[in-house]
Amino acid sequence: MTQRPWLPHYADDVEPDLGEVTFSHLPDMVRASGHEYASTIAFTQCMPNGMNGSLTYAQVDALSDDFAAYLREVVGLAQGDRVAVQMPNCLAYPVVAFGVFKAGLVLVNTNPLYTPTEMVHQFTDSGAKALVVIDMFADRLPEVLPQTSIETVVTVKISEFFPPVVAGIIRMVQKVWNRTLPKVTVPHTAFQAALSAGRAKKSADALPGYLAGIGHDTVAALQYTGGTTGASKGAMLSHGNLVSNTLQMIQMCGGYMRPGVEVAMTALPLYHIFAFTVNLLGFYKLGARNILIPSPRPPSNLKRAFENYKITWVTGVNTLFNALLNERWFLDSPPRHLRASAAGGMALHEAVNVRWEEVTGTPIVEGYGLTETSPVLSFNPFGPNEKPGTIGIPVPSTELKCIDDAGNEVAPGTPGEIAAKGPQVMLGYWNRPDETAANVVDGWFRTGDIAEMDADGFFTIVDRKKDMILVSGFNVYPNEVEERIAALPGVLEVGVVGIPDDKSGEAVRAYIVAGTDAPTEAAVLAHCRETLAAYKVPKSVRFVDELPKSPIGKILRRELRAEAVTSATASIETQGRELS
């Protein structure tokens, strides 16, 4: 067992261990909230123009029962079968997700923006037999379905559960004005028809039977990783993983998360593990009201939600917080009821952290986790023990340590790969025993992230192991360089990668999205020389209109590297033609 120097640094109202988990599985936890907060609004979907619809806890509970019965009694799926779900944040999402769990099936979250190639890979790899898809993207199905084992398709409208008149307006705008509704040309069932069919077949006696034999070690979801090192693979997250991590996150926040009171801004996609656990499961367990934003881009899509609802919590990534801080409407009228915000998914830049607190008068508390860990591993404690700039300390009942390449724990203050152990660590990778064995060693999951632990047990991310740049034998961590450049006035976003270099092996390149008062390349380099060792200073700077991002807004360094290699190859070919 590792040393636990973080134990004295939990907040006074936070126990360091989780204790007994009394919920048998996810449906057990979901039903408990559905009954306790029955008349409370659970989810409100807010469109960019302010049009909205809502569902109470009782409605979500009953409707997800209907959908569970549909999947088992009408479709005929068996316990453990996989159901792919491909939709943005909308009122149908929690009904479907909870229905899949209540049916004893396995949820396969799928990005609605996936290309047909990506869809085929995920559907075939998971062996999904059914698909619930937003109808806006159903035009891909004729190409995709014949290559998969999917036999049942349920289509969902973005306006499900909205008042009829409002839903009709949204539908008309999609069809006539935006032309974003392709004709669905494959056999399918409309969501409301599926619910009606399930309701007709629903039996109070049958519902518990769907969960017979399901416990903490049963797979609940296949959550696919981003595929940064090749084809994406499904992390097998169990009922115990997800229930435990939900409770760990709530316990870590202590009195800052108040049962039955909070109003959470859910702008990050629920199909991503961060919002899935923290917002969908965590705030639902608390009896909070989730304000669902179908798309946070552009950031003005959040304006009406902030105006119309008393938002107390915001979860996001660095790019989301930074984008809001560059919106005049947000600066002129910051949210008045906000208590706290939680950041994850990527490094929170110090400049963004400081400015957010200046503008809103509330803290962003940074946490850390991965898809494979459900995801939360660490969180900064609220109150005087917080250490801004770190990812905090392990959440209750979690062990973290930094190790060298041989797997040995390194001394405090020494960079090493984070290894994690706890009830939230996945069962393994779906159908990939070799990958599982390589990444989970003696019960410790090796994260691929480099960090340092200080004497108090607080961890600071240095960078992704695979993103590290090797310049003439010296390690350069992109996060550090990005942090320095982000502090320059006029820099909106920055991504730093390593590019091939004949002399030093690799060289540092910065890609910058600038505002109206853009710094020059010379100013960027001069600033870096003042604050960084010479080998860390970018050799080149590129100003771009935008940076490639994941669905949650995380900057995709792999795409920047690919662009750099492509540019270099094109340059060499051009020079070759000129010489010939």
232 alpha-carbon distance from chain centroid = 15
Residue 446 phi/psi, 5-degree rounding, is -90, 115
Answer whether residue 217 shows pLDDT above 70.
yes
The answer as to whether 364 is a domain residue is no
What six digits make up the tokens of 263?
A: 């109003």
pLDDT of residue 473: 64
Number of domains in the chain: 2
Say what the pLDDT of residue 509 is. Answer: 95
The whole-number average pLDDT for the span 36-61 is 98
Place of tokens 């119309």: 308
Alpha carbons 577 and 573: distance in angstroms, whole number: 6
**Residue 156: what residue type?**
V
* Rounded Cα distance, 335 and 322, in Å: 15
Say what the pLDDT of residue 563 is: 83
**Cα(186)–Cα(195) distance, integer angstroms:** 20
Instruction: Give 86-118 pLDDT, tens digit per residue.
Output: 999 999 999 999 999 999 999 999 989 888 888
Average pLDDT over residues 550-559: 86
Residue 228 has pLDDT above 60, yes or no: no
Specify the pairing of strand 376-379 against strand 364-369.
antiparallel
Let me know if residue 87 belongs to a domain. Answer: yes
pLDDT given at position 189: 98
Question: Helices 478-486 and 350-360 sit at what angle, rounded to 10 degrees?
Answer: 40
Burial class (CB within 10 angstroms; exposed 0-12, middle 13-18, buried 19+) of 571: exposed
CB burial string 81-120: b at 16+ within 10 A, e below: bbbbbbbbbbbbbbbbbbbbbbbbbbbbbbbbebeeebbb
Would you say residue 293 lies in a domain? no
Q: Tell which of 214, 242, 273 closes a domain.
A: 214
Which pLDDT tens digit goes with each residue over 260-294?
999 999 999 999 999 999 999 999 999 999 999 99
Residue-wise pLDDT tens digits, 312-371: 999 998 889 999 999 999 999 999 999 999 998 877 888 899 999 999 999 998 999 999
Residue 326 lies in a domain: no
- The number of beta carbons lying within 10 Å of the beta carbon of residue 489 is 11
CA–CA dist 434, 23 (Å, integer): 32
Task: Provide the whole-model pTM.
Answer: 0.86
What are the residue ranges of helices labelled H in 53-186? Answer: 57-69, 92-102, 116-126, 141-144, 164-172
Q: Which of 192, 214, 236 is the last residue of a domain?
A: 214
CATH at residue 544: 3.30.300.30
The conformational region for residue 307 under phi > 0 = left, psi -120 to 50 = alpha, else beta, is alpha
**CA distance linking residue 505 with residue 494, whole number of Å:** 23
According to the per-residue pLDDT averaged within each range, which of 192-201, 223-232, 515-524 is highest?
192-201
The angle formed by the CA atoms of residues 427, 557 and 463, to the nearest 5 degrees, is 65
Q: Which of 243, 220, 219 is nearest to 18 (CA)?
A: 243
Percent of the chain at pLDDT exceeding 70: 96
H or E element, residue 46? strand 41-46
Question: Does pLDDT of 208 surpass 60?
Answer: yes
Average pLDDT over residues 496-510: 87
The verdict on residue 487 lying in a domain is yes
Angle, helices 239-253/26-36, rounded to nearest 10 degrees: 50
Task: Note down the domain range covering 97.
Answer: 54-214
Identify the CA nearest to 488 among candidates 462, 520, 461.
520
Tell me the H-state helices in 75-211: 92-102, 116-126, 141-144, 164-172, 191-201, 206-209
Q: For all residues of the chain together, what is the average pLDDT?
A: 92
Strand partners, 367: 379
Q: Is residue 511 part of a domain?
A: yes
Output the domain CATH number for residue 119: 3.40.50.12780
Q: Look at residues 193, 214, 235 and tell me which one is the last residue of a structural domain.
A: 214
Query: How much is the average pLDDT of 511-534?
Result: 91
Note whether residue 434 is domain-resident. Answer: no
How many C-alpha atoms does 39 have within 13 Å on its Cβ side?
Answer: 0
**pLDDT digit string, tens, across residues 120-165:** 999 999 999 999 999 999 999 999 999 999 999 999 999 999 999 9
Rounded mean pLDDT of 211-222?
98
Residue at 265 is within a domain: no
How far is 191 from 134, CA to CA, in rounded Å? 10
